Structure 1
Amino acid sequence: MKKILLLFISCALLPSCCTLFTSSDQSITFAGPEGTKIYDTYTNIKIAEIGESKMVTVRIKKKVESKTLIAKKEGYRPSPLLLESTFNPTTLWNILFWPGFIVDFGTQKISKWDNTYINIDLEKDPRSTQQL
């Protein structure tokens, strides 16, 4: 009985490994033409805008599923971008404390963004050049 009680208390008090060692968001760097705006396609909210340095770094919350973004700039066609979600190897420490897998999955720290540097190539929109 004491062993079961000790196991239950340790499960309740100890957080999972990813919760301890990783953040819930991750830095992603976008490189492209100045003035390019990056939007989340699901919410249509602007995440970042590339400035004079032709680069911008933004922290994006980790998700279990991949995330689609879109880059827009006036005079150019919108360009879709994909943030691919992959398994976070830090989660493997949960083998020592198996309920940690549930916590990591619930907090979505079980995964991480695979591509942390995205180069944006925009294609000119032929319709915009005809209007000039």
Structure 2
Amino acid sequence: MKTKILLMLAVILSSAALSSCMTIFSNSRQTVTFMGEDGTRIYDGTNNVKLSEIKDGGVTTVKLKKKLSDKIMIAKKEGYKNTPFIIESQFNPKALWNILFWPGFLIDLGTGKINKYDPVIYNIEMEKE
């Protein structure tokens, strides 16, 4: 009787601890790097929130929350046309480990960890007005 209870407890604890394989292999945020001219500001295109500004060195890095859909961004700089661009979201093959515990697919789908942004480096070229 005790062994059955201990076995059930072990199964419940292990399934709770490993409920989502992507929790082990991936974060819900991903680092994306933007390269361009100093003073270029990077905005989220959906809500027009400033995420970062390219300063000395011509590079800035931002941690973006992963989503199932592509992310629209806008680069702005005084004297230049606003430049929209898309950060593409792709399926993360590491999520296939969820075959071992299928409810993990649902958890990873809800948290966005089932996808990744690729590429992670964007060179921003802007036109003068």
Question: Does the pair score TM above 0.5?
Answer: yes
- In the alignment, which residue of structure 2 is the partner of 1:40? 44
Q: Does the 8 A contact of 1:11 with 1:99 survive in 2?
A: no
Query: Secondary structure of the equivalent of 1:64?
Result: coil
Work out the CA distance in 2 between the residues paired with 1:100 and 1:68.
Answer: 28
2:93 pairs, out of 83, 89, 96, with: 89
2:63 pairs, out of 59, 62, 66, with: 59
Q: Does the 8 A contact of 1:71 with 1:80 survive in 2?
A: yes
Deviations 1:12-64 (A, max 9, x none): 44321101110111111100010000000111110010001101111111111
After superposition, the CA RMSD in angstroms is 1.7
Match status 1:114 vs 2:123: no
Task: Determine what percentage of the aligned residue pairs are the same residue.
Answer: 53
Work out the CA distance in 1 between the residues paired with 2:101 and 2:69.
Answer: 24
Write the letter of the residue equivalent to 2:111. Answer: T
1:99 pairs, out of 103, 107, 111, with: 103
Query: Secondary structure of the equivalent of 2:116?
Result: strand
Count residues with an aligned counterpart.
122
CA 1:44–1:93 in structure 2 vs 1: closer, same or farther (change >3 Å)?
Answer: same
Deviations 1:62-100 (A, max 9, x none): 111000000000000000111000001110000111111
Work out the CA distance in 1 between the residues paired with 2:109 and 2:22.
Answer: 10
